[in-house]
Amino acid sequence: MKTFLIIIYAIVAVILTILTLIQSKDDEGASSTITGGTNSFYEKNKGKTTQGKLKRTTIILGILFIILAITLGIFY
């Protein structure tokens, strides 16, 4: 079981690193919240684009990475 968790942890770490490097920089940040930003078709459908899917996958893998790190720390 320990070996299986470590292998999954390593795979998630490598994929998470690659996905983080592939993503483009999000320039909007907090300033667009204050100024209102643009409300274009792209902004409304951002989750359906490739960048939106990459961001969602990165968040899911990040959460999985944290859970695996805690699990490995507690049990081993």
Residue 9 lies in a domain: yes
- Using pLDDT thresholds of 50, 70 and 90, give the confidence band for residue 15: very high
Q: What pLDDT band is residue 71 in, cutting at 50, 70 and 90?
A: very high
Query: Does some domain include residue 67?
Result: yes
Neighbours of 68 (CB within 10 A): 17
For 69, the domain range is 2-23+44-75
Within-domain flag for 52: yes
The pLDDT score that the predictor gives to residue 49 is 83
Is 38 among the domain residues? no
pLDDT of residue 50: 84
DSSP secondary structure letters along 43-68:
HHTGGGSHHHHHHHHHHHHHHHHHHH
- pLDDT tens string 46-57: 667 888 889 899
Into how many domains does the chain fold?
1
CA–CA gap between residue 43 and residue 45 (Å, rounded)? 6
In a domain, 63, yes or no: yes
| pLDDT tens readout for residues 28-51 | 555 555 665 556 655 556 667 888
For the whole model, what pTM was predicted?
0.71
